[in-house]
Structure 1
Amino acid sequence: MTERLRFASFSHGGTLKYGLVKADGIVDLSARYGERWPSLREVIEANALSRLGAESAALPVDYALDDIAYEIPIPSPEKIICVGVNFPDRNEEYKDGQALPANPSLFIRFPRSFTGHGQPLIRPPESPQLDYEGEIVIVIGKGGRRIAEADAFGHIAALSLCNEGTIRDWVRHAKFNVTQGKNFDRTGSIGPWLVPFTDEEQLADIKLETRVNGEVRQSDRTSRMIFSFRKIINYISTFTTLVPGDVIVCGTPTGAGARFDPPIWLKPGDVVEVEAEGLGILRNTIADEVF
């Protein structure tokens, strides 16, 4: 099987860059194409991921991976839309007697609430209830409104991973919304990179797993999702225009820390890994916020 291309946003020497990730380092594409495409968002908008991969595959690396800091792959997406309750066992966790929902539950996250691969997730002083949620990310490449399910995959540019970290007690601070608990700065992560989307098999039935300190906490397969990737794109694009670079976080399996008795919250020193077949491993430690 041919190794898939991997594109990352990263910082080096305080400068935000993007490049092609190889086994021995990263090729700095921003140094070569930055004037035309300042970030991976513009690369995606130009439908140029495949071109950059072909043109840079033979280039030597510019930086060792240990010398860079990963950033979230799309540095300033117009929208980050997250899907809640998208696996059957996750729906049963609520113990509310309700059948599977007819439509996906959605909420918005801000870019500042995420950090990159290898960076610590930050536990704020307002609550110890920092939880993990491993999820698959789709990045929109071709914009559109009211996109038909049959056409949905033609609108995906790339895939990634997310730890959709949540401050649990803050998702219940108000009657109807979860915004507060989902948007504390740097409580979640996206990455490590973007893998270009090429065919349906990349998503059809892949294993998604979350581990905390090596212990498997979440494990399921995308074939069991309540709402398919096609349905998610169709539904969201009904009420809002999707644009290149938009990030959609597609739901987490059962097994988050809140569902243990007693709950198991993330604490400083923990290591959380989110892994999906063909997409790699998103790894983060946990740290308390420093003022």
Structure 2
Amino acid sequence: MDRIATVETDQGQLYGAVTEDGFVALSHDFPQWPTLRHVIAAGVLDQVAAQATGRAPTHMAGQVRNLPPVPDPEKIICVGVNFPDRNAEYKDGSDLPKYMSLFPRFARSFTGHDRPLIRPPENHTLDYEGEVAIVIGKPGRRIDAADAYDHIAAITLANEGTIRDWVRHAKFNVTQGKNWDNSGAIGPWLVPFTDAAQLDEVRLTTHVNGELRQDDTLSRMMFPIRQQIAYISTFTTLVPGDIIITGTPTGAGARFDPPSYLVPGDVVEVSATGIGTLRNTVEDET
């Protein structure tokens, strides 16, 4: 499995391949594509990944700081309440919705793998949401669902961390609870997308301090990923590097009685079949 990441090093920001032995920097081999967003736009993610074959690491794991894999995406769009059990959590008697719920997240609201999620001083209801994320590779508008997978360059994971009290500040929107700096994470790397099986039957789990909190399969989504791409591209042009965060299963901390929010020292691990594990600790903002 190819694993392509963006990291910060003493030499600055680099992209390259993650291997069992470390990190193989590839940025300098492709100066025409300065970031993975440029690589994705050029449609050469596989070519870049292949360049790492047989090469020794340029950096050991402790010599790099993980960043979200796609720098400065134009859009990050999140799908809310997208599993049947998640809809039932609201206990409002509503049927399955006709249309999907969507909201934006800003790039600076995410940090990278093995970096801390930051709990702000204004409110301590920091919660986790494990999700699979897709990265758009081929631009499109009004994309047919049957063609949707042709527009995916790569898949990754997200912890769509949320300040729960702040999603309740307004009647119809959740944006302000979803965009605190470094409250969520994306990573640990990109896996090039080549086959529908990479998404259709994926099992997604979230553990907090080793305890299983979320566990479901993407096949149970109310709005499958093909439909997400089709619906979103109806109203906005999807461009290379755009990220769609596809929905979280039941089991977030807000639904415990009493709620079980994240506190400093917690470790959250989001895992999915064929992708890997996104791991983050929790710290208070200083």
TM range, smaller chain: over 0.9
Which residue matches 1:263?
A: 259
Does residue 276 of structure 1 match 2:272? yes
The 2-side partners of 1:146 and 1:114 are apart by: 28
Does residue 8 of structure 1 match 2:8? no
> Which residue, 229, 234, 237 being the options, matches 1:238?
234
> Which residue, 94, 114, 117 being the options, matches 2:110?
114
The 1-side partners of 2:218 and 2:173 are apart by: 27
Does residue 26 of structure 1 match 2:26? no
Which residue matches 2:64?
A: 68
Q: Which runs of 4+ in 1 moved over 3 A?
A: none
Deviation for aligned residue 1:13: 1.4
Equivalent position SS for 1:286: strand
The 2-side partners of 1:78 and 1:198 are apart by: 23
Superposition pairs of residues 104-143 of structure 1, within 5 angstroms: 104-143=100-139
**Counterpart residue identity of residue 13, structure 1:** D
**Counterpart residue identity of residue 283, structure 2:** A
Equivalent position SS for 2:150: helix
**Counterpart residue identity of residue 84, structure 2:** P
The 2-side partners of 1:283 and 1:55 are apart by: 27
Deviation for aligned residue 1:16: 1.1
Equivalent position SS for 1:126: coil
Does residue 181 of structure 1 match 2:183? no
**Counterpart residue identity of residue 112, structure 2:** G
Equivalent position SS for 1:44: helix
Does residue 153 of structure 1 match 2:149? yes
Show CA shifts across 1:183-224 (max 9, x none): 000000000000000000001111100000000000000110
Name the % identity. 62
Deviation for aligned residue 1:14: 6.3
Superposition pairs of residues 35-50 of structure 1, within 5 angstroms: 35-50=31-46
Equivalent position SS for 1:53: helix
Gapped regions of structure 1 (runs ≥ 5): none
The 2-side partners of 1:23 and 1:103 are apart by: 42
Contact 2:26 2:51 survives alignment (8 Å): no
TM-score under structure 2 length normalisation: 0.99
The 1-side partners of 2:189 and 2:129 are apart by: 18
Equivalent position SS for 1:56: coil
Superposition pairs of residues 215-230 of structure 1, within 5 angstroms: 215-230=211-226
Equivalent position SS for 1:150: helix
Show CA shifts across 1:62-106 (max 9, x none): 001121110000110000000000000000001111111111100
The 1-side partners of 2:49 and 2:201 are apart by: 26
The 2-side partners of 1:49 and 1:77 are apart by: 16
The 1-side partners of 2:247 and 2:51 are apart by: 35
Does residue 212 of structure 1 match 2:208? yes
The 2-side partners of 1:103 and 1:82 are apart by: 14
Contact 2:120 2:284 survives alignment (8 Å): yes
> Which residue, 256, 268, 288 being the options, matches 2:284?
288
The 2-side partners of 1:108 and 1:24 are apart by: 36
Contact 2:16 2:49 survives alignment (8 Å): no
